[in-house]
Amino acid sequence: KRIGVEPKLYLSAVHTLRELLYKAICNALPVGSEREAAVAALDKLLLFDVTLVFETYIRSMVSEIEMAKEKSERYARSMEDKVRERTQQLEELSRTDSLTGLLNVRYLEETVTKALRSAQRRAEPVSAVYIDVNDFKAVNDTQGHQKGDEILRVVGSAIKAIARIEDSSFRYGGDEFCVILVNCRAEQARTEFVDRLNEKIAQNLETVSLSCGVAQTGPNEYVEAGTLIRLADENMYANKQEFKAKRDAKGKTPGT
């Protein structure tokens, strides 16, 4: 096999060798028990040789098959790992907003529903924070969409930096964001999340401010996911109206 000889050629050579040796024995020994014993010994020797060669050949073939099988299995496992990794990447991309890196809004209600069910089992409060960038349209109109995208990225990074691992942060759309804070009361959401977020935004974006609304559900009674988000949105709108009123009042102040 190593020198590329087919098994049938080997067997043909062995057969030819036997015939040659048989003739040599017949010429060397007279008819009788001694010749018969020599021929029988020759047949045993050749059978042993053929058996040894073919057992080795078969073991070699089996070994190659096993190696090929192992190689194929390794390749299959490697492909499975690559497919699994790529699938996870695609799932992550489908769940993530490409601009801010926050979760996509399409999974918001599903995520909130799961959070509420878990909170009900543990009798814990859940708070939603709805966030809007003040005067964002004016920024896009006067400074361009590239500046607007930069602001959204900074806001997204600030939200991710402040939110806990167990919280879920979403870009709701445009310049609006929503954060679900598990095991968190409304007052905690305002002091430990909203206040810190405003401070971080002030440090990174001096001319940008946020309007935030907080809504809590549980631990005694729980509203549906959509209702919790709507309440937070309504509170955000009320906060935005306060911001506009203060800005307008400041603009009307003599000397300003």
Residue from 189, 220, 191, 232 nearest 119 by CA: 220
- Positive or negative, the Cα torsion across 224, 218, 196, 169? negative
153/76 Cα distance (integer angstroms): 40
The upper half-sphere exposure of residue 58, i.e. CA atoms within 13 Å in the direction of its Cβ, equals 6
Task: Report whether 103 contacts 168 (CB < 8 A).
Answer: yes
Rounded alpha-carbon distances, angstroms, from residue 78 to 12, 17, 187: 45, 51, 50
List all residues 6 or more positions away from 132 whose beta carbon is below 8 Å from its beta carbon: 175, 176, 177, 210, 211, 212, 236, 240
Any idea what DSSP says for residue 96?
B
22/19 Cα distance (integer angstroms): 5
Active-site annotation, residues: 175
CA–CA–CA angle 125, 129, 237 (5° rounding): 130
Token digits for 45?
């020797």
